[in-house]
Structure 1
C-alpha cells in the first residue's frame, strides 16, 4: 500500500522539471512483470516526475493530484504501473494506468496486443439501479445564467457533498463514462444545459433544452476526466436553473482476462539424410501460435525456428532440421497456442 509519507514526499518536488528524474527508471523485467514490492517505489517515481507537469498544465485544478491518484496506484495491475513509471509522456503514463492489465509472459508473445482491446474505445457498459449523484436543490443552489459548475462522476465515499446519494452509486473509480438522466428544474427562462468532461472546452451540443418554469429531462453519456482530476465533468446552464443528475450506468475498460493457452507438440524421427527437413506442429482450431521451439538429442541441427504462417495467420510452428547420416535422430516441435477466452 502506498503510504502518505511517500506521496507527500512526491509533492515536495513540485517545481522541478520532469526531466530531472529521468525516464525509464523502471523498465520491464525479464518476465515482463515487476515484483509487488516495487509498487510504492514506482508510484513515488510517477508522482515525482509528473506533479510539476500537472500543476503547471492544470493550475489550481492540479493541486492535490498525487492524493487523488492514490486509489489508482493501489489498485492498478502491477504490469500497467510498471509501464506507467517508464512512460516518456504524461499521456502515455495515463494510458498505461487506465489500460486493462495484461500479465507478463515468460515467452515472447507474437500476437499484436492491439487486437486484445483498447482502453480508449473498447468499453463495456454496466447498467445500474438509477442513483442520484447531484441535486442543486439540496447543495449549491440553482446555477446562475451562463454558469459552469463542476461535479464528481465517481467517488470513493459518497455523493452527499453535491446533493446526491450517501453511497458511491456502485460507480467504480476511474470509470470512463457515465450514462445519466439530467433534469432542468424550474428554469427562469428558455435555455439549455450542456454537460462535458472537466478538462475539455464547452461543446456546442446540448444535453437538455428547457422552457421557463418547466421540469425537463434528457439522457446523456458523459465522458469523465481521469485519472486524478479535481472533478470529472462540468454542467453549463444558459439560464438560471436547478439541476438534478441521476446515474443509470457506467462505461469502463473490460477487466483483464488471462489468455487461454495450450501447448501443441509434434514428435518423430528424422530421415537418414543430411539435407534440410521441415517439420511442423499445428495449433488447435481457433488458437494462434504465440511462441514455439525445436528440440532433439545431441547431433540434431536447427536451421530455422519460426511461426508457421498460413493466410496471414500464425497457425503453428515450423522447425527446419538437419539430421545425421549415421543414425536416425528423434525430434520435437512445440508451439504455445493461445486465444482470447470466449464463445
Structure 2
C-alpha cells in the first residue's frame, strides 16, 4: 500500500463528524453544487462511520481496508452525490448515489436491479426480490433429515379408536417421547415447516379400512393416506401440510378402524431463507505509466459463478489522477500521468454471489 493512500485514509478518519439524525445526514450548510474541502471531508468521514460496520459484516472486509478502497470513489463524487449518499437508507443505494445515478433510482429498485443481474436469475422471475424470497404456499425448499420417529401409539396414547381423530406435533418439540417417539427433537426444535415428509404405518388394525393424515384444524378430506386390511402392517410415504401460522398441533390422524400407528419424519419443506452475499476480491492488475503518458489497467475477471459489483482503480501518485473507469466495459481503469516520474496504475474487482440456502 502506498504512503499516499495511507495518508488519504488517515485524513478521512480524523475529519470532524457530521451529525446524522435517524439514519440521515442533518441539514448542511451550502446546499449548492460545490462544497469546501472541510465539508467534503466531514461528509466522507460520516459515510465511513455510517456504513463501515455494515461493509465489514456483510462483505467480510476490514473497515479500514474498505475505506482505503473507497478513496477513488470519494474523490470522484461531487458534493450533491455525497449529500445524496448520506441520505440513503441502504448501503447499495448509498453506493449508487456516490456513483452519480442514485438520484434516478430508489433503494428498493437498486436492490432489485442488483439481484436481477446475478447469473441465472432473470429479472422477470424475481419480482419483489428485495422483500421476499418465497412464500408459505410455493417456492418451498426441501430439507431431508435423518429418519426419526415422532409418533408410536404403542408406546403412548394407545391405539386410535375406530372413527376417531388424534392430533400430533411434527416439529418445535424438545422431545417426542410424549407421543411415543424419539426422546430427542429430531433436528426440528427450531424449525417451522410448511409441510413434512412422513412415513406412516398402520399396525394390526381391527378391520379393513384406511387412515387419513391432514393439517390440524382443517376439515378432514375424503382421501386415504394409508389403506389396510384387518391385522395388516401397512405403510405409505406421504407429504402432509402443516398449518401456518403455528397452531397447538401440526397434523391430525383419522382412523377408520381401531389401530396403532407409527409415524417417522424424513424431511420437511419451508420457505427459502435469505443468506448473506458471498464476496471475494480479485488480485490487482498493475501497469506502469510513463511520465507525461496515459495508460489503462484491466482488472482480472471474477471467478465462475460470481458477478462483479465494484471496480477498484488505484493510482500511486497524486500527479496521475484516474480519468475514467468502466466496470461494464471490461473492468478498465484509465489514468494520465502529469508528473515527472513514472507511476503505477492498478485495477481489481469485488465479486459477489448469492449462495442460497
TM-score, normalising length from structure 1?
A: 0.51
Per the alignment, residue 308 of structure 2 pairs with 289
Matched, 1:306 2:327: yes
Residues of 1 paired with 2:208 and 2:117: CA distance? 55
Larger C-alpha radius of gyration, 1 or 2? 2
Q: Distance in 2 between matches of 1:165 and 1:318?
A: 60
**How far is 1:204 from its partner?**
5.9
Change beyond 3 A, Cα 1:33–1:336: closer
- Assess if the C-alpha contact under 8 Å between 1:143 and 1:149 holds in 2: no
**Alpha-carbon separation, structure 2, partners of 1:227 and 1:270:** 64
Residue 281 (structure 1) shift: 1.1
Q: Which runs of 5+ in 2 are unaligned?
A: 1-21, 24-49, 58-113, 122-132
Structure 1 unaligned spans of 5+: 1-24, 36-107, 309-315
State the shift of 1:207 in Å.
Answer: 2.0
Shift of 1:110: 8.7
Q: Does structure 2 conserve the Cα–Cα contact (< 8 Å) formed by 1:181 and 1:219?
A: yes
1:153 and 1:136 mapped to 2: Cα distance? Answer: 18
1:150 aligned residue: 167
Out of 229, 238, 253, the position equivalent to 1:211 is 229
Instruction: Give, in whole Å, the separation in 2 of the partners of 1:190 and 1:217.
Output: 14
**Is the 2:298–2:331 Cα contact (8 Å) retained in structure 1?**
yes
SS at match of 2:351: strand
Shift of 1:183: 1.8
Distance 1:33 1:295, change over 3 A: closer
* Total equivalences in the alignment: 230
1:338 to partner: Cα distance: 4.5
What RMSD over aligned residues (CA atoms) do the two structures have, in Å?
Answer: 4.5
Q: What is the match of residue 181 of structure 2?
A: 164
Q: Distance in 2 between matches of 1:243 and 1:34?
A: 56
Among residues 205, 213, 216, which one is paired with 1:195 in the alignment?
A: 213
Instruction: Confirm or deny: 8 A CA contact 2:281 2:350 kept in the other structure.
Output: yes
Counterpart of 1:181? 199
Shift in alpha-carbon separation, 1:233–1:257, aligned structure 2, 3 A: farther
**Aligned 8 A contact 1:273 1:324 in 2:** yes
Within 5 Å, which residues of 2 pair with 1:1-343? 30=51, 31-32=53-54, 112=118, 120-128=139-147, 130-135=148-153, 138-139=156-157, 141-145=159-163, 147-174=164-191, 176=193, 177-187=195-205, 189-198=207-216, 206-225=224-243, 228-237=246-255, 239-251=256-268, 259=278, 261-270=280-289, 272=292, 279-283=297-301, 285-286=303-304, 287-296=306-315, 297-298=317-318, 299-307=320-328, 317-319=331-333, 321-324=334-337, 327=340, 328-338=342-352
C-alpha distance in 2, partners of 1:169/1:266? 51
CA drift of 1:252 comes to 6.5
CA contact (8 A) 1:180 1:245 kept: no
The structure-2 alpha-carbon separation of the partners of 1:114 and 1:196, relative to structure 1 and needing over 3 Å to count, comes to farther
Take 1:113 and 1:188, find their aligned partners in 2: how far apart are those partners? 58
